[in-house]
A and B are shown apart, each in its own frame.
Chain A
Amino acid sequence: GAGVSQSPRYKVAKRGQDVALRCDPISGHVSLFWYQQALGQGPEFLTYFQNEAQLDKSGLPSDRFFAERPEGSVSTLKIQRTQQEDSAVYLCASSLGIRDRVWETQYFGPGTRLLVL
Chain B
Amino acid sequence: AQTVTQSQPEMSVQEAETVTLSCTYDTSESDYYLFWYKQPPSRQMILVIRQEAYKQQNATENRFSVNFQKAAKSFSLKISDSQLGDAAMYFCAYRSAGSGGGADGLTFGKGTHLIIQP
What is the interface of chain A, defined by CB distance below 8 A to chain B? 3, 33, 35, 40-46, 48, 55-56, 58-59, 89, 91, 93, 99, 102-103, 105-106, 108-111
The answer, among B6, B52, B110, for a CB contact under 8 Å with A103, is B52
- Chain B 16-40 interface 0/1 with A at a Cβ cutoff of 8 Å (1 = within): 0000000000000000010100000
What is the interface of chain B, defined by CB distance below 8 A to chain A? 4, 6, 33, 35, 42-47, 50, 52, 91, 93, 95-97, 99-111
Pull 17 A–B residue pairs with CB atoms less than 8 Å apart, ordered by A.
A41-B110, A42-B6, A42-B93, A42-B108, A45-B106, A46-B105, A48-B105, A55-B99, A55-B100, A56-B100, A56-B104, A93-B45, A102-B95, A102-B96, A105-B47, A106-B47, A111-B44
Q: Known: A59-B102, A103-B95. Is A109-B107 also a contact (CB below 8 A)?
A: no
Report A-chain residues with C-beta under 8 Å of the C-beta of B109.
42
